[in-house]
Structure 1
């Protein structure tokens, strides 16, 4: 299996094959709208605007598993992100990233880059950088800002 074998749900609940992103550099992020790291949306949008024309995509997966910091429906989360941060990158349906109901994409990502806590996602805004061939290159802690990832994204493009 590789990253392109997975299917995720968009914000409206429709299936989206990860194969759609073949040949792109990806930053996959679990997010929350009521988190201390929520202002990272601004940096993510900046990174997206800077590199999207060169084949870069950000895939945003809201997650309510950490202190219930992503309350609301997919639509409410999307509206908040649009109004507050004007995000234009792909936002998907709310998922679990750990535990019994974790999304299979996250099971795969964690198997590729375990991180400091083993495979478990520590908190919101954990980021996975994927190259154009679908290889998971690096995992970043929630405290790693999008600005600190800029050079790594640029190098993969």
Structure 2
């Protein structure tokens, strides 16, 4: 197995056991992360996001489906099952992650998933079904996610970009 494929396998194994500290060690200090809920994170905000999600995701179940990596790039497909804390709804999220590596660490990670499918489950009801695809709902989810991350970091005295 390529060392970067092993890095990703270990990263998702840490996520499955909700070990945010172990996940953080996989990232380069200049790391960047983006997904539909947490766009444009950098540095300490990346590792803090994972720590926060691991602490709060008490019923998280993760299935890693495929990992591929070489010296420069990688890709993983995975599924997360969890309860969305805001609504209490159960979610099954199918994610594709793309990676760039530097110095044996994750430099960039971009996660993609069907936001409308996620919103229908997480938000539920007419709002999730009828409005989950709209920029209005996406912007609201992003703002709430970023506020939650800011509060998490502030409570722990973590400075970040």
TM-score (norm 2): 0.30
Q: Comparing both structures, which one devotes a greater share of its residues to helix?
A: 2
Greater C-alpha Rg = 2
Of Structure 1 and Structure 2, the greater strand share is in: 2
Greater relative contact order, per chain length (Cα 8 Å cut-off, separation 6+): 1
